Structure 1
Amino acid sequence: MRSIRGSLVAVALIASSALIASSPAQAAPGDLTCTETESVSYSPGLLTTRRSVVVDVDNVLSCTSLTDPAVTGGRVRATVRGLDRSCTDLAASGSGSYTITWNTGETSTIGYTRSANYVLGTLVIVESGTVTAGKFTGDSVTHVVELLNLDLLACLAEPGLTAASGIGTYLFT
């Protein structure tokens, strides 16, 4: 009886290992979490009135994944030219997409909607979305970033608000 039970346990373990190995590379709930440091620059600087600016974003991620331990970090780099912005619309809601390049060389494209609010001089941005292409396709993504200690008085005169930085988190489910 013990040898039959032991054989059944071994078969079950082999079968479950085969199922896990053949599954697509998709994160389990709460599997992939990342912390980030975010840097944003505006050229020319933002004022209280809208004008065309170039926005450079550089986010560096440090990540932990239980199903794909090779993913330990990532980066989002983007330059948007000719964007009409002012200090007053930093907290505007919106939608868009961006791509994370993982330390493994793979990418994930995320489509998102965002909301933002000022809390005691900190701009808190919450993005909710889905991985639409690449690694972790189909996963839901929640991204929260806090742009700390914004100098909104800089918006009143040239050169304006030229930079912002902060910290954030990503959760893939």
Structure 2
Amino acid sequence: MIRLSAALTTLVLAAAVLSPPTSAYAASSTTCTGTTHVTYSPGLTLTPQDVTGTETDTISSCTSTDTTITGITTSPTYSFDAPGASCNAVQVSPGGGGLVIHWNNGQTSTLTGLVGVLTATGGIVQNTATGTVTAGEFNGATAVITWIYALVNPLQCLMPGGLTTQDGTIVLQVTGA
């Protein structure tokens, strides 16, 4: 009887620790997906060099605890500098560390402090930038933007002019607040 009671107590305590409090359900959560297109100048090669990129993201599908959000109205387009970039090694923080998201409900969210981490595994290159919403809708929330591209075929980098464009997927997640 004592073993059963101790096991039951342990199970109840574990459930209490693992279960989020009911107030956690009130926190905001938004996940958006779309496509990304990047152009590089000069084109990426196997030799590191300073490159300027222009990125256009199209994010038309969002799921949110704010039911008025179903997408992002303007496709963010911005330029960035990528010093020492080469094929499969382009590391940038978007928008110089800040970005304004224009939601379809007329609200905006200013994301700042975005710091990217680049990984390449299993034929995929992923750049994940994490920051904070510092103004507008979801103020105080954490924002994570993930860009996913296929690993570049090195032969593309040997072509005259190098790799000049890349297409992939983008995922924007906002949680908290």
| CA distance 1:91–1:117, shift in 2 (3 Å) | farther
Q: Which residue is 1:155 aligned to? A: 157
8 Å CA contact retained: 2:87, 2:163: no
Change (3 A) 1:86 1:157: farther
Give the residue type in structure 1 aligned to 2:148.
Answer: E
Q: 1:116 aligns with which of 97, 118, 128?
A: 118
Q: Residue 60 of structure 1 aligns with which residue? A: 58
From 127, 140, 146, give the equivalent of 1:125. 127
Structure 1 residues 26-41: aligned runs within 5 Å: 28-29=26-27, 31-41=29-39
Change in CA separation of 1:33 and 1:40 when aligned onto 2, cut-off 3 Å: same
CA distance in 2, matches of 1:127, 1:28: 25
Report the CA distance between 1:154 and its aligned residue: 1.9
How is 1:9-158 mapped onto 2 (pairs within 5 angstroms)?
28-29=26-27, 31-61=29-59, 62-67=61-66, 69-74=67-72, 75-80=75-80, 83-87=82-86, 90=89, 92=91, 96-111=97-112, 112-158=114-160
Structure 1 distance, partners of 2:83, 2:92, is: 15
Under a length normalisation based on structure 1, what TM-score does the superposition of the two structures give?
0.70
Aligned identity (percent) is: 30
1:147: how far off? 0.9
Total equivalences in the alignment: 145
The structure-2 alpha-carbon separation of the partners of 1:137 and 1:30, relative to structure 1 and needing over 3 Å to count, comes to closer
How far 1:93 sits from its partner (Å)? 7.1
Gaps of 5+ in 2: 1-24
- TM-score normalised to the size of structure 2? 0.68
CA distance in 2, matches of 1:33, 1:88: 29
Q: Per-residue CA shift, 1:79-98, capped at 9, x if unaligned?
A: 23x54342257354757222
Unpaired stretches in structure 1, ≥5 consecutive residues: 1-26
Decide whether aligned partners of structure 1 residues 165 and 28 sit closer, same or farther in structure 2, where only a CA change above 3 A counts: farther
Residues 109 and 133 of structure 1 are in contact (CA less than 8 Å); yes or no, is this contact kept in structure 2? yes
1:129, distance to aligned residue in structure 2 (A): 1.2
Distance change >3 Å, CA 49–CA 149, structure 1 → 2: closer
